[in-house]
């Protein structure tokens, strides 16, 4: 009985093994600073590299959601990309990237489907409602990228917008820092409408937002959505 009690206590402290984690939905997925996400499979993909430690230079694809400095950082793009990497970005970032000598580009706009290097993805709107940090008419984007039949939502900087009810993803990342993006409560509402299997907070600690925001987001998710804080 004593051994059983110890085992039971251990399980309570560790928590149940996630079926989704066991299925590999987060295999090769990492969240670094701010909104930087890396997904490593047959291709190595980075999203919005910023304040990146080290220079891995292993990225086949680098996705940029918009041109603010914490999302389009040329120095960080160069740290993570292979020499022949493709950079995916919106039209307004092209001049800045070309000025740095980076010319292998795919220019995107919202609400379209693309394929590059065998990776299929969709662009979705990303904008603010009621504040002007990220105006809708800038045509900045989020991405829904399909890798090994799993759909990953990378939001960019966005509020909780009406279009989100139509976004379909297995794994979703959500900005929770407030001020420039959604608050933790708003991000949870967005996740609860989208209903991914896994939801992870981003865009906190490094510029705005706190670890408490991330924890509040996870706590507010509906049953059936697994909240995971991946930040390194």
DSSP 49-99: --S--S----EEEEE---SSTTT--HHHHHHHEEEEEEEEEEGGGHHHHHH
Percent of the chain with pLDDT over 90: 77
Phi and psi dihedrals of 201, rounded to 5?
-80, 145
Hey, what's the torsion of the CAs at 17, 197, 29, 120, to 10 degrees?
Answer: 150
Q: Is pLDDT at 20 greater than 60 in this prediction?
A: no
Please give the average per-residue pLDDT across 18-27, as a whole number. Answer: 69
Find the angle CA(61)-CA(209)-CA(132) to the nearest 5 degrees: 75
C-alpha 143/C-alpha 156 separation (Å) is 8
- The better pLDDT of the pair 115, 32 is held by 115
Among 23-27, 115-119, 216-220, name the one with the lowest average pLDDT: 23-27
pLDDT given for residue 26 in this prediction: 95
User: How many Cα atoms within 13 Å fall on the side-chain side of residue 20?
Assistant: 15
Other Cβ atoms less than 10 A from the Cβ of 211: the count is 12
Kindly report, residue by residue over 176-209, the tens digit of the pLDDT: 987 888 999 999 999 999 999 999 999 998 788 8
What is the set of domains in the chain, with CATH numbers?
A: 23-221 (3.60.15.10)
Other Cβ atoms less than 10 A from the Cβ of 138: the count is 16
Q: Is pLDDT at 81 greater than 60 in this prediction?
A: yes
Phi and psi dihedrals of 203, rounded to 5?
60, 55
Q: Is pLDDT at 4 greater than 80 in this prediction?
A: no
Which tokens in the block code for residue 215? 């924890």
pTM of the model: 0.90
pLDDT given for residue 7 in this prediction: 37
């Amino acid at each position: 009985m004593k051994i059983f009690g110890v085992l039971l206590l251990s399980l309570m402290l560790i928590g149940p093994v996630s079926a989704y984690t066991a299925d590999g939905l987060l295999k090769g997925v990492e969240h670094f600073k701010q909104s930087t996400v890396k997904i490593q499979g047959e291709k190595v993909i980075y999203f919005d590299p910023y304040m990146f430690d080290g220079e891995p230079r292993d990225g086949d694809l680098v996705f940029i959601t918009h041109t603010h400095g914490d999302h389009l950082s040329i120095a960080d793009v160069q740290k993570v990309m292979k020499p022949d990497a493709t950079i995916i970005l919106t039209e307004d970032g092209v001049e800045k990237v070309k000025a740095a000598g980076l010319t292998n580009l795919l220019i995107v706009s919202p609400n379209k489907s693309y394929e590059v290097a065998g990776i299929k993805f969709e662009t979705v709107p990303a904008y603010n409602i009621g504040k002007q940090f990220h105006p809708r008419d800038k045509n900045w984007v989020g991405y829904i990228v399909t890798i090994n039949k799993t759909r990953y939502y990378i939001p960019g900087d966005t509020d909780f917008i009406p279009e989100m009810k139509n976004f379909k993803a297995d794994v979703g990342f959500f900005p929770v820092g407030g001020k420039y993006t959604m608050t933790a409560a708003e991000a949870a509402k967005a996740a609860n409408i989208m209903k991914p299997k896994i939801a992870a907070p981003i865009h906190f600690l490094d510029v705005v937002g706190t670890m408490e925001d991330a924890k509040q987001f996870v706590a507010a998710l509906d049953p059936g959505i697994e909240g995971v804080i991946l930040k390194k």
